[in-house]
Amino acid sequence: MRDHRFTSAYLFGAVCPDRGTGAAVIMPHVNIEAMNEHLAEISTCVSVGAVALLILDGAGWHRSPNLALPDNIALLPLPAYAPELNPVENIWEFLRGNFLSHRVYDDYDAVLRACAEAWKALIKRPETITSIATRPWAQVKT
């Protein structure tokens, strides 16, 4: 017998490897509105006087002219078909491999709780964030 239920939640996440921290929102859909909520959340986590460089793939909701980009975030779009350049792809791999894959959840609320718990577990491991997401080419040295 197989479980044929299917539902999804989308974890929008960004990390700062230098500080070993991150910001995330969990959304029911992937769209521009969800991305705008994510940008607003990231903005609240950026150090005062700093600007966050957000590395993005080519998803449509990442490049929309309807994005509400906060003043303390700059976007760095990656070339097409280059996920290996995006540090957050390694974060997703870590979360799936350690917290989210090969599980059956009872309902949508359980999916949301699992996403939230996985993200909280990651945030409690700043050295893991730094190790996984540091890219020498994505640093500004002053």
Q: What is the pLDDT of residues 15-57, one digit of tens each?
A: 999 999 999 999 999 999 999 999 999 999 999 999 999 999 8
State residue 58's pLDDT score: 85
Q: How far apart are CA 23 and CA 56, in angstroms?
A: 15
State residue 3's pLDDT score: 66
Confidence of residue 59 (pLDDT cuts 50, 70, 90): confident
pTM of the predicted model, to two decimals?
Answer: 0.88
Compute the Cα dihedral for 74, 92, 134, 47 and give only its sign. Answer: positive
Confidence of residue 1 (pLDDT cuts 50, 70, 90): low
Of residues 5, 25, 4, 21, the one with CA closest to residue 132: 21
State residue 127's pLDDT score: 98
Answer for the pair 62, 83: CB distance below 8 angstroms, yes or no: no
Q: How many CB atoms lie within 10 A of CB 122?
A: 22
Residue 139 reports pLDDT greater than 80: no
Answer for the pair 72, 39: CB distance below 8 angstroms, yes or no: no
The letter for the amino acid at 32 is I
Give the largest Cα separation in the chain, rounded.
Answer: 60
β-strands 73-77, 52-56 pairing: parallel
Answer for the pair 100, 113: CB distance below 8 angstroms, yes or no: no
Average pLDDT over residues 107-116: 95
